[in-house]
Chain A
Amino acid sequence: MNLRQLIQPAPDWLDAPSPQRVAFVALTACAGLALYGFTVGYWRDPIMGCYVAVKLPLLIALTLACNGLLNGLLGLLLGTGLGFRQSLLALLTSFALAALILGSLAPITFFLAWNAPTPESPGASAAHSAYLVTHTALIGFAGITANLHLHRLLAVKAPTAAAATATLLAWLGGNAFLGAQFSWILRPFFGTPGLKVQFLRDDPFDGTFYEAVWHAINKISGGFGLPALCVLMLFLTAPILHAIYKNHRTTPRP
């Protein structure tokens, strides 16, 4: 098994979810995420880099483990015909692709961390913001690419394109919803300057990602949280739906 098979999977890729194949894909995802994760945390502190190298694969593993039953059920009920192990392999393949993209960018992000002003310097706050934006953009790009890839995989297996899209959206919604909360629990990742370097915050289960986002949006918009959230959701969902719709036309049929 090699990386090309993972990046350009054959139409029967999901037909044989053997333990070896699942283990290969999982290890690839872990390696890519660990490599990238190290560069994410490295800017704050090399120890932080090691923590994030562990936490990033852990985030994916926890999300997939907690949503495993739900993903399998949705895969069956939404008509793709995928069983539980096939669903797991499909999702792992998608995460592994994102991990490969991010892992391949790790030397560049390491270079970025190496050259950024240190967390102790006067320009640390601006550097931290730029660092956040850069990594958010990279993770967003890897995530969108991996999901379009997953959609193509599903479309090959599903009897209709609509079934593939429905399954993708259901998986995406469920995993994003829970994954965001796990990212909150497993914080810090980037390591805010001034806060101490630690594996988990002292109160990891205090509050939720969504409450924090809601308070932030409400504060920024001067109390107009709901309209601001609606506009934000529109800006986020419209390109995703457009990309999936366009993907229908490029999806290879068996």
Chain B
Amino acid sequence: MNPQDIPSPVQPPPLEAPLPDQLDLKTLFEALLRRPQALVARLAEPNHGATGRFAIMAVVSILLFGFVLGCFAKHEQLWAAPAKISAGLIFSALICFPSLYIFSTLAGARVSISQLAACLAGALALAGLLLLGFAPAVWIFAESTDSFGFMGTLAIGSWIIAVAFALKFLKSVIFATGGTQKAPLTIWSIVFLLVTLQMTTSLRPILGRSDVMLTQEKKFFLQHWGDTFGTSLKPAVAEKPDL
């Protein structure tokens, strides 16, 4: 038998180095994008301190994206839009968190509450970072158009893309922690998305301006979007009377 006929032993894939003990913002940012599996494993250990950092990352990103949306109507919306969007997202995360724990357990995941909270914060941070990526483009359009329909579609479209990646990260969390079923997380994802979309109506106006900061009128988000889609920021120019 010639030496070249000897089959070379199969090389196992190289093992990923564990994340460092100190999880600073840069490490978390890198891990979120490049090594989600290693991040999930690290978050299972105590004293990671990542939840707060992820939350800060998410809130700062959302505040900046909200500011960009506020540039559409300007005036008080420059601070009101970021405040409302951030508050809406935090509120949505808080009310959806109990069901996330139950649904992920139903899916078969063996994840602790603190680990899941860190993962949810990480998912929102990821969504926030993606929204930051969209922010320059959204700003260009906010300065160019007066159409609520166009700006609304752009903002909601950006949010849906960002949240899709966040939910993909949560899915990897569920499967990395022993989950075997997709259906519970799919249902939770739909619920979470609907809650965040309803926030756009419950906290209105976010894009436009109003005499009141928050309206008391109850409306479903599809109805609100339908009512405002064809409207414009600039009031229609009244025709001069034919004298």
Interchain residue pairs with CB less than 8 A apart (9):
A66-B137, A69-B136, A73-B129, A174-B137, A178-B137, A182-B140, A185-B144, A206-B144, A211-B147
Query: What's the Cα separation between A71 and B140 when bound, in Å?
Result: 17
Mark contacts of B146-177 with chain A using CB atoms, 8 A cut-off: 1 yes-contact digit, 0 otherwise.
01001000000000000001001000000000
Mark contacts of A53-70 with chain B using CB atoms, 8 A cut-off: 1 yes-contact digit, 0 otherwise.
000000000000111011
Contact call B140/A181, Cβ cutoff below 8 A? yes
Contact call A178/B34, Cβ cutoff below 8 A? no
Which chain B positions have C-beta within 8 A of A77?
33, 130, 165, 168
**Which residues of B60-85 are within 8 A (CB) of A?**
none
Which residues of B line the A interface, CB within 8 A?
Answer: 33-34, 129-130, 132-134, 136-137, 140-141, 143-145, 147, 150, 165, 168
Q: Is A210 an interface residue (CB 8 A)?
A: yes
**Which residues of A53-103 are within 8 A (CB) of B?**
65-67, 69-74, 76-77
Query: What's the Cα separation between A174 and B162 when bound, in Å?
Result: 13
Q: Is A177 an interface residue (CB 8 A)?
A: yes
Which chain A positions have C-beta within 8 A of B33?
73, 76-77
**Which residues of A133-157 are within 8 A (CB) of B?**
none
Contact call B144/A181, Cβ cutoff below 8 A? yes
Which chain B positions have C-beta within 8 A of A185?
140, 144
Query: What's the Cα separation between A69 and B128 when bound, in Å?
Result: 12
Q: Is A107 an interface residue (CB 8 A)?
A: no
Which chain B positions have C-beta within 8 A of A71?
133
Contact call B140/A69, Cβ cutoff below 8 A? no
Query: What's the Cα separation between A178 and B157 when bound, in Å?
Result: 14
Mark contacts of A22-46 with chain B using CB atoms, 8 A cut-off: 1 yes-contact digit, 0 otherwise.
0000000000000000000000000
Mark contacts of A178-196 with chain B using CB atoms, 8 A cut-off: 1 yes-contact digit, 0 otherwise.
1001101100000000000
Query: What's the Cα separation between A211 and B145 when bound, in Å?
Result: 8
Q: Out of B34, B133, B143, B168, which one reaches A205, CB within 8 Å?
A: B143
Q: Out of A73, A205, A208, which one reaches B130, CB within 8 Å?
A: A73
Nearest-CB residue, chain B, relative to A210: B150
Which chain B positions have C-beta within 8 A of A65?
136
Which chain B positions have C-beta within 8 A of A74?
133
Contact call B140/A207, Cβ cutoff below 8 A? no
Which chain B positions have C-beta within 8 A of A205?
143-144
Which chain A positions have C-beta within 8 A of B141?
181, 208
Which chain A positions have C-beta within 8 A of B168?
77
Minimum CB–CB distance for B232 against chain A, Å? 11
Contact call A177/B137, Cβ cutoff below 8 A? yes
Which chain B positions have C-beta within 8 A of A211?
145, 147, 150
